Amino acid sequence: MDNDTLIERIATHPFYLELKSSRDPKVLEALKGIDRANFLPEFQKESAYRDTPLRLTHNIEQHQSTCSQPSMVAYLADALELKEGMSVLTVGTGSGYFEALVKTLIGDGHLTTVEFDPVLAHFGESNLRNHFGTLDGIEVICADGSKGYPRNQPYDRITIAASYVSLNYPDIELGTQLNEGGIFIYPCNPNSCLVYGKKEPGKISTRKLGTGIKFVPIKKSG
């Protein structure tokens, strides 16, 4: 299997198709130009074109970081409705695979991506530099992103690639970091879904997306 075959499979994946009746063709077109193998450690490259999450270290731990399932990456990018010139925050850089897709879709926009693990922050940053040949318009930060990253606000979009396992959800914190009309998405493991929030005049409206969705728990300081 190769990258083109992987993209063809995503296009017909029931999970991706359930998102909405009209999907943005630019998402899968952009993914065709992002070879997942280039965002994986050497021991995982032979599995690069499987539509499954892949761990990023040899250590087998219950809650270790992964390179997300490609169909999930496409699903998230489509749900975010990314546009040229946007300012986007992603939390949980990992390998940088999803971030490469985001940056491709926002073009000259600015991507801030936060990773808690310093080793993964360096790994993701290196992968993004190798893919684009530059880090212009990309800022990789090693920090606690469990409540977003206020320093570079406001954002048009925020997405968090790790789940919240308690009722202490970050809706208020993320909402204050968004422009009017901005969108945030994060996973919620107790309900096995994604939380989709939109900042509207005087309020933040939220709804659930998907079912049976699992991410590793969010890492935070303290």
Residues serving a catalytic function are: 68
Residue 115 forms beta bridges with which residues?
142
- Do 185 and 90 contact (CB within 8 A), yes or no? no
137 φψ region: left (φ > 0), alpha (ψ -120 to 50), beta (else): left
Whether cis (ω within 30° of 0) applies to the bond prior to 53 is no
- Do 4 and 32 contact (CB within 8 A), yes or no? yes
Site of tokens 């992964």 = 66
Q: Which residues 6+ apart lie within 8 Å of 4 measured at CB?
A: 32
Q: What token pair was written down for 147? A: 């409540």
Site of tokens 């299997």 = 1
Secondary structure element (H or E) that encloses residue 31, with its range: helix 25-32
